[in-house]
Amino acid sequence: MIRPAPIVAALPSSTPFVGPERLMRERGLYTLVRLGANESAFGPSPAAVGAMGAELERTAWYGDPDSFDLRVALAIKHRCTIDHLTVGSGIDDIMGLAVRAYVAPGAVAVTSTGTYPTFDYHVNGYGGVLARADYRDDGKPDLDALARLAREKRAALVYLANPDNPSGTLFARAEIERFAAALPRDAVFFLDEAYADFADESDLLSPTFEDRLIRARTFSKAYGMAGARIGYAITSEDVARTLDKIRLQYGINRNAQIGALAALRDDDFRALVVRETAVGRDEYAVLAHELGTSSLPSRTNFVCIDFGTQRRATIVRALLDRGVWIRKPGAPPLDRYIRVSVGTVPMRAAFADALRELVARGQA
Ligand SMILES: *Cc1c(COP(=O)(O)O)cnc(C)c1O
């Protein structure tokens, strides 16, 4: 019998995400209102679609392994030089590079139980050891517990998403600064800013290029380009050089590079998406109230609505039977909630109608 390498042989077969395509195949559904993965319901900027369409014929070419044009545009946006920027095929990819670069087999990585799971997936895959802090009872990541755990375990890498997934929490700049300062001096802080484009610049960290900090951004959420697979890290030059040693030099889709560049130049579109997303979030909060429950404050493109630990599983299944796909956080205390992405007006209406019907029938 052939044996995989020990770290891989020890991994359980797992599926961190069951895709909506599989759910549709299993249920024989031909259409689905996709509100489960925080994809943008508003699509990419028309400018990005145009730019990618015009370049499709050159798909025979590899993309620029330096992602030079894109990094120049990003350097302007983030007030840094291109030597602080590493482009990858999404934050998921960047996260894998960070774990591979900074978590040696047996070293400890710290995260929150029930937060974005791809971090755990990489730590396990590279033979690291996970230490997890619970969320606070109010549904927010527990920054004090995370920092304490990082110090106790001498963590090599610490993960936090801000704004957070699945709670939607945005920590203010000062809170993130305090948290970073409370981490061990030699721990690397992976700050996942997948939803930063929905926040105001004044809420976020100002550009800082400490060796201990890796900030990750993506075109998957506010820019509506999840299927293109492109994101980037903002780091010190030293960290960028380290990531450069192990990244797949031709791992970026050429069309994604072109689309991302065009999307960056169309900030009006992003601003429109951000405004419409805020309207949708408010609608969901009102809906929760109308149905006699509550929702968590969110600064992302999704909202968590409280239905209790038992009911929410029924709700997710019953909504799927009605062609509406959402997800539910898996770990306490967030396992009382369903998590629904902000859709377009008709998508929100389909969700609200189906949910109202379930509640009226006592099914939820
Ligand atoms: C969606 C999401 C990601 C994935 O980003 P990609 O760039 O599509 O890989 C990463 N982190 C969080 C917190 C997310 O919600």
d(CA 178, CA 274): 28
Pocket test for ligand 1, best of 35, 93, 116 (most atoms within 8 A of CB): 116
From the CA of 221, give the closest atom in ligand 1.
1
Q: Measured in angstroms, how far is the CA atom of residue 34 from the centroid of ligand 1? A: 16
From the CA of 218, give the closest atom in ligand 1.
7
* pLDDT given for residue 327 in this prediction: 96
Q: Whose CA is nearest to atom 14 of ligand 1?
A: 194
pTM: 0.97
Q: Measured in angstroms, how far is the CA atom of residue 55 from the centroid of ligand 1? A: 26
Q: Measured in angstroms, how far is the CA atom of residue 235 from the centroid of ligand 1? A: 18
* pLDDT given for residue 162 in this prediction: 97
* pLDDT given for residue 84 in this prediction: 98
Q: Measured in angstroms, how far is the CA atom of residue 91 from the centroid of ligand 1? A: 5
d(CA 250, CA 65): 5
Q: Cis omega (within 30 of 0) on the bond before 332?
A: no
* pLDDT given for residue 321 in this prediction: 93
Q: Find, among 201, 145, 143, 153, the residue nearest to 177 by Cα.
A: 143
From the CA of 164, give the closest atom in ligand 1.
13
* pLDDT given for residue 202 in this prediction: 87
What parts of the chain have a pLDDT lower than 70? 363-364
From the CA of 93, give the closest atom in ligand 1.
9
Q: Residue 351 to residues 32, 266, 291: CA-CA distances in angstroms?
A: 11, 30, 13
Pocket test for ligand 1, best of 115, 190, 192 (most atoms within 8 A of CB): 192
Q: Measured in angstroms, how far is the CA atom of residue 8 from the centroid of ligand 1? A: 24
* pLDDT given for residue 31 in this prediction: 94
Q: Which residues line ligand 1 (CB under 6 A)?
A: 38, 90-92, 116, 161, 165, 192, 194, 218, 220, 226, 231
d(CA 229, CA 251): 10
pLDDT digits (tens, 9 = 90+) for 241-252: 999 999 999 999
* pLDDT given for residue 201 in this prediction: 83
Neighbours of 57 (CB within 10 A): 8
d(CA 272, CA 266): 10
From the CA of 115, give the closest atom in ligand 1.
13
Give per-residue burial for 96-113: e unless 16+ CB within 10 Å, then b: bbbbbbbbeeebbbbbbb
Q: At how many degrees (to 10) do helices 345-360 and 267-290 cross?
A: 10
Q: Whose CA is nearest to atom 5 of ligand 1?
A: 91
